[in-house]
Amino acid sequence: MADDQMAIRSVVLAGGLSTRMGRDKALLIYDGEPQVRRVAGMLSRLAPPAYVSIRATQAKLPAFSGLRLLPDHDSDIGPLAGVLSAFREDDSCAWLVVAVDMPFLTETSLRLLLQHRDPDAFATAFRNPDIDAPEPVCAIYEPRILPVLLGAKARGRYTLKVLRDVRVRLVEPAHPQELANINDPDEYSRAASRGLPPSTSS
């Protein structure tokens, strides 16, 4: 990586409606701690400062107390809203973006992603083997992608799958299972009962 590459910050995408879960996924407890605080803690060690993208109604919830909050300016456009909120905060740096519903993700894997960052690409992302495509909610977004995201929004294409249309540095995950999303009560029950790997590096 070039010595003069742009700085990087990080953001947890926590503003989803959690419709399938039936309750806020950011507040789910893993290893005795709300998931949003677990992810924010990891990111604060790897790419500080770490922010949390939220719906305005989440701001006063105790689990978000003391975190750097970025209320989404757009509603009903999914994770795209959180990435745009991050670039609205600072469009001169890259953003390490992580969804709040990936409880198996470890700091070790995120370090791998950071080590392989390509600032000359539009993004650096893990290749998700389940879809054989970039995993858009665990990726590093470079500033050059902002016009692409704004263009997608203007066309009503509210998806981060735009990563498939631009040059992305793909990184093979050492443990693909870490990219699993927990989306409904049954998945949460299984994930919470099986125990999670330590989020921090050994």
- Mind listing the pLDDT tens digit for each residue in 127-171? 999 999 999 999 999 999 999 999 999 999 999 999 999 999 999
pLDDT for the residue 75: 83
Q: What span, in angstroms and rounded, lies between the C-alpha atoms of 176 and 104?
A: 10
Q: Please spell the DSSP secondary structure of 47-60, one letter per residue.
A: SSSEEEEE-GGGTT
Q: Can you read off the two tokens belonging to residue 78?
A: 């999914």
Instruction: Express each pLDDT in 42-58 by its tens digit.
Output: 999 999 999 999 999 99
Q: Is the pLDDT of residue 1 over 60?
A: no
> Considering only CA atoms, which of 106, 125, 141, 108 is closest in space to residue 10?
141
CB 109 within 8 A of CB 171: no
Using CA atoms, how far residue 99 sits from 5, 38, 79, 104, in Å, is 24, 12, 8, 11
Range 16-37 average pLDDT: 90
Tell me how far apart the alpha carbons of residues 151 and 155 are, in angstroms, rounded to a whole number.
6
Number of structural domains (the chain) is 1
Say whether pLDDT at 202 is over 70. no
Start-to-end C-alpha separation, the chain? 24
Give 139-151 pLDDT, tens digit per residue.
999 999 999 999 9
Please indicate, yes or no, if residue 31 is contained in any of the structural domains. yes
| Strand (E) or helix (H) holding 117 | none
Give the pTM.
0.91
- Residue 96 located in a structural domain: yes
Is residue 201 situated within a structural domain?
Answer: no
Across the chain, mean pLDDT equals 91
Q: What is residue 124's three-state secondary structure?
A: strand
Comparing C-alpha atoms, which of 132, 42, 150 is closest to residue 96? 42
Q: Is residue 106 part of a domain?
A: yes
Contact 82, 7 (CB under 8 A): no
Q: What pLDDT is stored for residue 5 in this prediction?
A: 62
Q: Cβ contacts of residue 155 below 8 Å, gap of 6+?
A: none
List pLDDT tens digits, range 178-200.
999 998 999 988 888 776 655 44
Residue 196, pLDDT score: 61
| Rounded alpha-carbon distances, angstroms, from residue 179 to 2, 85, 96, 109, 113 | 28, 23, 15, 10, 12
Residue 118 is assigned to a structural domain of this protein: yes
Q: What's the residue count for the chain?
A: 202
Residue 15 is part of which domain span?
8-194
Q: What is the CATH number of the domain that holds 31?
A: 3.90.550.10
- Whether 202 is covered by a domain: the verdict is no
Confidence of residue 40 (pLDDT cuts 50, 70, 90): very high
